[in-house]
Amino acid sequence: MLRDEAATRRLGAALARHCPWSMPGARCVFLSGELGAGKTTLISALLAACGVRETVRSPTYSLIEVYAFDARVGVHLDLYRLHGAGELEQLGLRDYLHDGALLLVEWPEQGRAQLPRPDLWLQLWAQEPGRRCRLTAHSAAGECWLAELPGESLRSEGA
């Protein structure tokens, strides 16, 4: 259970601390959930823990925001308003599929056929008094990522 915004931010920071950067390829995280479920809050905390100092905004209208940190790049995609696969292709996503890249994709269902396979898929939903989060690994890197997260953190964060 993610009891409040602070718990959501702690989960984002824990994900940043335990990201398996040493494995080849870009890291990719899908985030699903209704509007207001905490996707952007979690991404903001994750990027802040990676070293991003600027304000992380939801790219609802631009579809993509890119953040540089520690010789790496964080690519935040919000596909809620995606109008077709061609629009995703025009964003130049392929340019970011390299070692040291972190793709964070909100509403991946909108462009899934054009997206790389996620390492982790986070599903967030409201459940009083806060939110629930389910983390699922979809690659070897994702399995390593989840294995590195402290068990206590998973239990207390509700993942």
What is residue 102's predicted lDDT score, i.e. its pLDDT? 97
Chain-wide mean pLDDT for the chain?
A: 88
Residue 108 CA to residue 114 CA, distance in Å, equals: 10
What torsion, rounded to 10 degrees, do the Cα atoms 91, 59, 76, 38 define?
-150
**Confidence class of residue 159 from pLDDT cuts 50, 70 and 90?**
very low
For 115-136, give the DSSP string. Answer: SPPPSEEEEEEEETTEEEEEEE
What is the per-residue pLDDT across 53-103, written as a single tens digit (0 to 9) for each? 999 988 888 889 999 999 999 999 999 988 777 788 888 888 889 999 999
The yes-or-no verdict on residue 121 having pLDDT over 70 is: yes
156 pLDDT higher than 60: no
Q: For residue 58, which of 31, 21, 86 has the smallest C-alpha distance?
A: 31
Per-residue pLDDT at 108: 93
When pLDDT is cut at 50, 70 and 90, the band that residue 45 belongs to is very high
Which position has the token pair 């609802």? 60
Residue 158: band (very low, low, confident or very high) from pLDDT cuts 50, 70, 90: very low
Q: What is the pTM of this model?
A: 0.90
Per DSSP, the three-state class of 64 is strand
What is the spatial distance between Cα 119 and Cα 139, in angstroms, rounded to a whole number?
A: 5
* 3-class DSSP state of 40: helix
| DSSP characters over 71-93 | TEEEEEEE-TT---HHHHHHTTG
- Region for 118 from its dihedrals, namely left if φ exceeds 0, alpha if ψ lies in -120 to 50, beta otherwise: beta
Instruction: Please state whether beta strands 101-106 and 120-127 pair in parallel, antiparallel, or not at all (unpaired).
Output: unpaired
Looking at the predicted structure, is the pLDDT value of residue 153 above 80? Answer: no
Tell me what pLDDT residue 155 has: 39
Phi and psi at 65, nearest 5°, equal -135, 140
Query: In the prediction, which pLDDT does 151 show?
Result: 61
Residue 110 has pLDDT above 50, yes or no: yes
What region, left, alpha or beta, does residue 69 occupy, with left being phi > 0 and alpha being psi -120 to 50 degrees? beta
